[in-house]
Amino acid sequence: MAVIGKDIKKAIEILKSGEVIGMPTETVYGLAGNAYNTEAITKIFTVKNRPTFDPLIVHTSSVERVREFVSEIPEKAQLLANHFMPGPLTLLLPKKDIISDLVTSGLDTVAVRIPNHPLALQLLENLDFPLAAPSANPFGYISPTSAQHVDNQLGEKIKYILDGGECTVGIESSIIGFFSDEIVVFRKGGLAIEEIENIVGKVRIEEHSSSNPKAPGMLKSHYAPRTQLLVTGDLSLVDNNVGKIGYLGFDKFHPLIPQESQLLLSSTGDLAEAAKNLFAYMRLLDTRGFDKIYTDLLPEKGLGRAINDRIKRATTPE
């Protein structure tokens, strides 16, 4: 078990020694290490059991500090940074040599994020290096939205988890890349596409693929609980032959499943509340010993699009 606490000094000391820690952000918890130290980066990949072809996000505390390790900030990236950083947004920008190929899996762009979380910002401000941090879950599992989630899964492998409470956004950041003629969303996340388009105009959404690791962040089978998760589609799927069933609903209970086997993401139909609860509720249902968990897609708008993306990736086709 790791120590869970709010001791920034201790976190700084561990990070300076080249070790990794659990770190809070507003989206999900990260597994953080010195982005300039290849030993620390290697530890991140090992602890997470993550393939090295899947690059890491580098976190810092201000746009000025981004220039330390990024060679250029395109105009539209700067516009998005002005509006949404700190926030649930990750920008893919051309890297300087100070960022090793290990961090970017050999790509010439680095993923950059400024988390909107007071403790994370305080930590980053007090370090003279940025922090590489993927979500602090074992590769392929649901991202953690509390210090306890991190401890449950990685507690044996790390010394310290900085406790920043429950994540307020609850799903990972939106990832955006810039090309001469277009802006591309590589991962739908905590910043709605509508909000991005309000600032920079139409964007293209890159669908994820499991065959092309260069299509960033986009391994299809991701975010899965251990119990089989299925989208009901139609109610007849829920018959007597499927054993004990759980249900993860948006704002309404499923009429054919006992209510004690159900959780609602937001009884008032609020998409931000649904995003905040999504992973925590998937985890809760995963511990209940159901044979299957059913769910349904949410309205395909605002944060609903990112939530649906996570649900689709977590479901197993029958």
| Helix 193-200 with 75-84: angle, nearest 10 deg | 130
84-103 residues near ligand TXA, rule: CB under 6 A? 90, 92
Taking the least distance from each CB to ligand TXA, the nearer of 171 and 285 is 171
Could you tell which of ligand TXA, Mg ion, none binds residue 90, using a CB distance below 5 to 8 A set by kind?
A: ligand TXA
Number of residues that bind Mg ion (CB under 5 A): 1
**Would you count residue 135 as binding Mg ion (CB under 5 A)?**
yes
**Would you count residue 55 as binding ligand TXA (CB under 6 A)?**
yes
Per CB under 6 A, the segment of 10-18, 39-47, 52-60, 79-87 that binds ligand TXA is 52-60
Per CB under 6 A, the segment of 60-68, 170-178, 243-251, 260-268 that binds ligand TXA is 170-178
Closest-CB residue for ligand TXA? 216
Taking the least distance from each CB to ligand TXA, the nearer of 30 and 225 is 30
Q: How far is the CB of 308 from ligand TXA (least distance, A)?
A: 17
Taking the least distance from each CB to Mg ion, the nearer of 44 and 264 is 44
**Would you count residue 164 as binding ligand TXA (CB under 6 A)?**
no
**Would you count residue 57 as binding ligand TXA (CB under 6 A)?**
yes
Q: How far is the CB of 48 from ligand TXA (least distance, A)?
A: 8
**Would you count residue 225 as binding ligand TXA (CB under 6 A)?**
no
Taking the least distance from each CB to ligand TXA, the nearer of 88 and 249 is 88
Taking the least distance from each CB to ligand TXA, the nearer of 55 and 130 is 55
**Would you count residue 191 as binding ligand TXA (CB under 6 A)?**
no
Q: Write a three-state SS string for 67-105.
A: CCCECCCCHHHHHHHHHHCCCCEEEEEEECCCCCHHHHC
User: Which chain residues interact with Mg ion by CB under 5 A?
Assistant: 135
Residues making contact with ligand TXA (CB under 6 A)? 25, 27-28, 30, 54-57, 90, 92, 104, 107, 109-111, 113, 115, 133-135, 172-173, 175, 186, 216-217
